[in-house]
Structure 1
């Protein structure tokens, strides 16, 4: 009987100790809450595309911009990123076109040019040595692996140019032919064009041709570039409405 009495006492003491568990001190970390099953948790995704370029220097005498990035990002990215949404009507995104970007897009649509455009338009047989040096240094301003090497002739010209130090540029100045410069003038601008436009005429014919371009071929590229730029803001307005 004594054993049963002691057992009863232990059960009572255990209950009292459990009931008298100390309260956690202020600031202490509580235990983790019971997690909600993953299948019951909604996931909200906000797609925000922030389209911006700084205000590039524009020569007050010539009206020519010092950098091509507003133009080439318009022809390769800004228009098509909006246009692709037409194939996905249930997808909602926020696209932010900054005022300084819109200002330069409007200027280019109205006829402004950048120095890369001006030098690409210049007949290859009229390029001065300084023009050629600029082209050799700057007309490979694109991702070498993902853009330039996608096109055999462009990659060939990159390999022929070699490095970017003064010695390499001077050597390329002597080895590049008039046709090499003309092809490079066109390939820089073709490569900075969205693949959807390159897959359609008239640019498809130039991509298929690949090399030995003519001076007239340049105007085809720049006419398309101007039309794409003119369509960037209207396309965004159309999708908004």
Structure 2
């Protein structure tokens, strides 16, 4: 018989950005950390604050938290007259002497067009006019002599206005005044906007900490710099889900187990310092798991982890297809494993942005109620939606304000479904874990590691990383690094081990973005050699990948299933 109690539902939002700073100069190469912070991280907190009965799990990559802190320090110092802003785009917002060189002016215009055309540019008539002019200058660079400094200043203001959280836009009279003015912004007004950005940045961590302290949010983490831990442990694990994949020349990452432990411990240290609590849950980078990784996660003190539904499907034998909404344990590992409902998660990520908000929520809730109706024992099952918490919303009207508001309110009032956190579910419902013999290695994307290894460009990137790690090990073994040098080099190595560089390599991703991440990866490797007091290899000047595709959502998101492409 079906239980009369409501079916438990977890919404888990993953917040993650790689290290965009050149650690030698401190300069941020790309602005996505602060832009997503003032738009998405703020709004995702505001939606929960508005519905006190709602609950969620929120995951933060520790290296993202450190970058948010760095932005706050820099902007505060600048506004106090004691420092500079190391993000060129943010610095230009308040720069009196904007560039006079035509190429630099054109480059600045291009940066100020990096926003969703339909929902972020065309929404605001002044921004649309400025963007149309900027596009004209891109196509007719000889006309740049007519582009005034006021045009550049207004374009910078509107770019940043379009990236503001909807919750702030609807409540802050300063933002309303800037939007209503429309053009001819003064330097003083630009500094006012910078102050607003600072306040939003400063609010992020305290708001999530308060939500955690109230019990509304369970805060969890990923390993420090977002590496694919199973590949650090054994690249051959990729063959478990894709046996015919061509792997790098050397499939053993030197000291991979120690590096995985480093990412887990450093991540815990950073997370606990920032939030004042130790997380129970882990979203392994990209949901990347393997049987070999489970004891490491358990050893680090995590009681549960999450991965993709395709990983669970791959881990069932041909004769057994268990319930994807149960808690699982694998082999001898004692850590609880839950799995993403890939279908429901992808509906939010890729389908509902074009729907009316109420229709989308009704459809999603209808799917969840159907699952609840089919579930024989709701105390033992959990519907788990896991989704990127930052990249989907620009494809929705008004940063998904209507969809998310209606979703939380509807679920909070639903008698058949109940929002919870994973730790609360495990503690209160005491589900009986299903035991399986072996967890097949894979990620939430396709249930494989094909997004990070197996293609020629991705394998080449691994070869470069392995060579850099060998150099690191040699310098350490010979005692050539002081304690401070070792600390800095270890962190720089961690940055190079992050998953994002490998994500972008491949001809299916857009060329300009691939170029940016290709250069970032080689820059990080070069700085690692610098910290090791070793001349960087000449091959770091060679491009790894050029891209050229036009994937859905610009490549920042993936469907869980190749058949959905």
With the shorter chain as reference, the TM-score category is 0.7 to 0.9
Q: Does 1:176 align with 2:139?
A: no
Q: Work out whether 1:60 is the aligned partner of 2:24.
A: yes
Spell out structure 1 runs of 4+ moving beyond 6 A.
Answer: none
Aligned residue for 1:64, secondary structure, equals: coil
1:154–1:187 Cα contact (<8 Å) kept: yes
Deviations 1:139-159 (A, max 9, x none): 110000000011111100111
Residue among 126, 131, 145 paired with 1:153: 126
Partner residue of 1:94?
Answer: 57
Size of the alignment, in residue pairs? Answer: 202
CA distance in 2, matches of 1:219, 1:127: 21
Is it true that 1:121 corresponds to 2:121 in the alignment? Answer: no
d(CA) in 2 for partners of 1:239, 1:113: 31
CA 1:233–1:125: 2 relative to 1, 3 Å: closer
How far off its partner does 1:164 sit? 8.3
Is 1:139 the equivalent of 2:112?
yes
Q: Which residue of 1 aligns with 2:280?
A: none
TM-superposition CA deviations, 1:93-152 (whole Å, max 9, x none): 000111011010111111154121122222256543343122121111000000001111
Verify: 1:45 aligned to 2:9, yes or no.
yes
Instruction: Tell me, in whole angstroms, the C-alpha distance in 2 between the residues paired with 1:220 and 1:143.
Output: 24
Q: Distance in 1 between matches of 2:40 and 2:56?
A: 15
Whether 1:213 and 2:185 are equivalent positions in the alignment is yes
Query: Deviations 1:56-93 (Å, cap 9, x if unpaired)?
Result: 133633x2211111101111110221122112111110
In the alignment, what sits opposite 2:34?
A: 71
Q: C-alpha displacement at 1:235, in angstroms?
A: 0.7
Query: What residue is the counterpart of 1:204 in the other structure?
Result: 176
Preserved CA contact (<8 Å) 2:93 2:194: no
Cα distance in structure 2, aligned partners of 1:87 and 1:68: 28
How far 1:229 moved relative to its partner?
0.7
Contact 2:43 2:166 (C-alpha < 8 Å) held by counterparts: no
1:161–1:169 contact (8 Å) kept in structure 2 = no
TM-score, normalised on structure 1?
0.76
Report SS of the residue matched to 1:91.
coil
CA distance in 2, matches of 1:217, 1:127: 22
Using the TM superposition, give the Cα deviation of residue 189 of structure 1 relative to its aligned residue in structure 2, in angstroms: 0.9
Rounded to whole Å, the distance in 2 between the matches of 1:49 and 1:172 is: 45
Q: How large is the Cα RMSD of the aligned pairs?
A: 2.3
Map of 1:85 onto structure 2:
48
Instruction: Tell me the residue number matched to 1:108.
Output: 71
1:231 corresponds to which residue? 203
CA contact (8 A) 1:124 1:181 kept: no
Whole-angstrom distance in 2 between the partners of 1:169 and 1:52: 37
Measured after TM superposition, the shift of residue 217 of structure 1 is 1.0
SS across alignment from 2:117: coil
- 8 Å CA contact 1:137–1:169 kept in 2: the answer is no
Q: Normalized per residue, which structure has more helix? A: 1
Taking a change above 3 Å as real, the CA distance of residues 127 and 232 of structure 1, as seen in their structure-2 partners, is: farther
Give ranges in structure 2 of 5+ residues lacking alignment: 75-84, 214-565
Deviations 1:180-239 (A, max 9, x none): 111101111111111232232212110010111111111011111111111111111011
Contact 1:133 1:169 in 2 (8 A): no
Q: 1:127 to 1:45 in 2, by over 3 A?
A: farther
Matches of 1:170 and 1:190 in 2, distance apart? 26
Q: Once the 2 structures are TM-superposed, how far is the Cα of residue 177 of structure 1 from its aligned partner?
A: 2.3
Kept after mapping to 1: 8 A contact 2:20/2:29: yes
Match of 1:33 in 2: none
Q: Following the alignment from structure 2 to structure 1, what is the Cα–Cα distance between the partners of residues 17 and 57?
A: 17
- Once residues 59 and 158 of structure 1 are traced to their aligned partners in structure 2, the CA distance between those partners, rounded to angstroms, is 33
TM-score (norm 2): 0.34
